[in-house]
Amino acid sequence: MNLGTSRAGRLDDQPDSLHIIGDWTLAYYPDLKEQIDAFKTQTENGNGLNRSVDLSAIETLDTAGAALLIDLLGVQRMTAILQGSSDIPPARRALLDTMVRAMATPLTPEVCRMSQPLVFLAQTGERVKGFWRQQRLLLGFIGLILSTLVTTLLRPRRWRMTALVAQIHQTGLNAIGIVALLTFLVGAVVAFLGATVLQSFGATIYTVNLVAFSFLREFGVLLATILLAGRTTSAFTAQIGSMKANEEIDAIRAFGLNPVELLVLPRVLAILVTLPILTFVGMLSGILGGALVCLLVLDITALQFFTILQNVAPHHFIVGLSKAPLFAFFIAAIGCLEGFKVSGSAQSVGEHTTSSVVQSIFMVILLDAIAALFFMEMGW
C-alpha cells in the first residue's frame, strides 16, 4: 500500500515487512492518519503485526509523527523495536522512547491527599468564612429593614395595619398556649432540681428565689424566643420562600411595590409586639410551675411563696423583658432573609427553613450570653 506524495510520510506494506517512509511530521498529520486508519481496517489487528518493521527510511520525525507511529504499532511493539534495532539515530530513539513512556503511562494529575487535621482545619475555615458572609448579609438586610421602617413611619398612608394585626394574631395569640405550657413544665423541673440540691444544705426555702431569678432574667424570654424561632421564624421563611419560588415577589416588584415594606415590616413589627407579651406569659407560667412544686413537695405554702417573691428586686423583671425586643428583631430578620434567599425549588424552601431556625436559635443564645455578661458587669 503506497500512499502519499514523494516526501510526505507513507506506509509501504510488503508481504513480510512494513516499511515506514518519508516525513512523519505535523504538516502531514491528516494524510498520515488516514493511511493508518486504512491500514488498520485492512489488517485483522493493527497493533499485533506479524511482520518486521523498518524505520530506517524515515526522513523527519516530530512528536506528532511519533504519536502516530506508536498508535500504529502499539506501545509494546515500539518498545521491542527500540530495544532490538541499533540503526535508529540517538535523537530519534530518545524522542520515540519519551513518547512511548508518555503514552504507556498517561499523565494524570496527582490527587492531593490532605491529612485529617488539615481537612478539619480547611472545613472549619470554610464554615467560619460562610458564617462571616452570612452575618454581613444579615447586617445589610437589617439596615434595609430600618431604612424602610423610617420611610414608612413618616407616611401614615402606607401603614399596613391589616397585615400587622393578622401577623400579631398568628405569631402571638396562637402561641400563648404552647409557651405557657412549656414554661410551666420547665418551672416545675427547675423547682425539683433546685430542691434536690438545696435540700442537702437545709435551704429548700431558697428554691423560690431560684425559680424567680431564673425565669425573670433568663428562662422566660429565652424559652419564648426559642419557641417563636421554631414556630414563627420557620413560617416566615416558608411563606416568603414559596412566594419567591412562585415568582410572586417579582410580580410585586413589577407592580412598583416594595417587598420589604409589604412582606417584612408587618412580620418584624408583629414579633416586636408579641414577644414581650409571650415573655411575660412565660415568666408567670414558669413561676406558677415552681409554686406548684413548692406547694405540693416542699411544704412551702402559697403565702410563703408569694411573700418571698415580693422581696425579689423588680429590676430582674426589667432585665429579662428588655431582651425580648432585641431577640424578636433578630429572629424576624433572619427568617425573612432566608425566605428571600430561596431559589426556585421546594428543596430550597426546606433547606432555608431549616437554616433559619438553626440561625435564629444560635443568634438568640449568643445574644443572651452577651447580654448576661453585660448586665453582670453593670451590676444589674
Model confidence pLDDT, tens digit, residues 5-27 = 456 777 777 767 777 888 888 88
The more confident residue out of 60 and 12 is 60
Averaged pLDDT, 287-300: 88
At 48, the pLDDT band (50, 70, 90 cuts) reads very low
Cα distances (Å, whole numbers) of residue 126 to 104, 120, 192: 40, 10, 43
Strands 10-13 and 52-54: unpaired
Most confident range (mean pLDDT) of 10-24, 77-91, 341-355 is 341-355
- What distance lies between CA 238 and its chain's CA centroid? 17
Last residue of a domain, one of 41, 69, 104: 104
Q: Is residue 152 part of a domain?
A: yes
At 87, the pLDDT band (50, 70, 90 cuts) reads confident
258 and 191 inside one domain: yes
Tally the residues of the chain.
380
The more confident residue out of 240 and 55 is 240
pLDDT for 328 beyond 90: yes
Contact assessment for residue 291 and residue 307, using Cβ atoms and an 8 Å cutoff: no
> Cβ contacts of residue 188 below 8 Å, gap of 6+?
289, 290, 292, 293
pLDDT of residue 106: 59
The more confident residue out of 64 and 143 is 143
71 and 161 inside one domain: no
333 and 184 inside one domain: yes
Q: Is residue 252 part of a domain?
A: yes
CA-CA distance, 191 to 211, in Å (whole number)?
6
> Cβ contacts of residue 348 below 8 Å, gap of 6+?
241, 245, 342
Q: Is residue 139 part of a domain?
A: no
369 and 241 inside one domain: yes
pLDDT for 3 beyond 50: no
Contact assessment for residue 209 and residue 307, using Cβ atoms and an 8 Å cutoff: no
312 and 168 inside one domain: yes
Name residue 11's beta-bridge partners.
20
Mean pLDDT lowest for which of 65-74, 160-169, 209-218, 260-269?
A: 65-74
Residue 338: name the closest of 366, 365, 359, 361 by CA: 359
284 and 349 inside one domain: yes
Last residue of a domain, one of 104, 132, 164: 104
CA-CA distance, 53 to 17, in Å (whole number)?
6
pLDDT one-digit tens code per residue, 105-145? 655 555 567 778 888 888 888 888 888 888 898 899 999 99
40 and 156 inside one domain: no
pLDDT of residue 94: 84
CA-CA distance, 70 to 77, in Å (whole number)?
8
Contact assessment for residue 290 and residue 185, using Cβ atoms and an 8 Å cutoff: no
Q: In degrees rounded to 5, what are phi and psi of residue 175? A: -100, -5
Number of domains in the chain: 2
Q: Is residue 291 part of a domain?
A: yes
Last residue of a domain, one of 51, 73, 104: 104
CA-CA distance, 94 to 101, in Å (whole number)?
11
Averaged pLDDT, 231-257: 88
The more confident residue out of 108 and 37 is 37
pLDDT of residue 12: 72
160 and 305 inside one domain: yes
pLDDT of residue 55: 77
Q: Is residue 367 part of a domain?
A: yes
Q: Is the whole-model pTM more than 0.75?
A: no
pLDDT for 154 beyond 90: no
Q: Is residue 55 part of a domain?
A: yes
CATH number of the domain residue 89 falls in: 3.30.750
pLDDT of residue 49: 56
pLDDT one-digit tens code per residue, 312-323? 888 889 998 999
Q: Is residue 258 part of a domain?
A: yes
The more confident residue out of 40 and 181 is 181
Per the structure block, which three cell numbers stand in for 172? 402571638
176 and 76 inside one domain: no
91 and 169 inside one domain: no
Q: Is residue 31 part of a domain?
A: yes
224 and 364 inside one domain: yes
Q: Tell me the residue range of the domain where 84 lies.
A: 10-104
At 157, the pLDDT band (50, 70, 90 cuts) reads confident
264 and 156 inside one domain: yes
Averaged pLDDT, 243-258: 86
pLDDT of residue 271: 92
3-state percent breakdown (helix, strand, coil) of the chain, nearest 5: 75, 5, 20
pLDDT one-digit tens code per residue, 187-226? 999 998 888 888 888 788 888 888 998 999 889 999 999 9
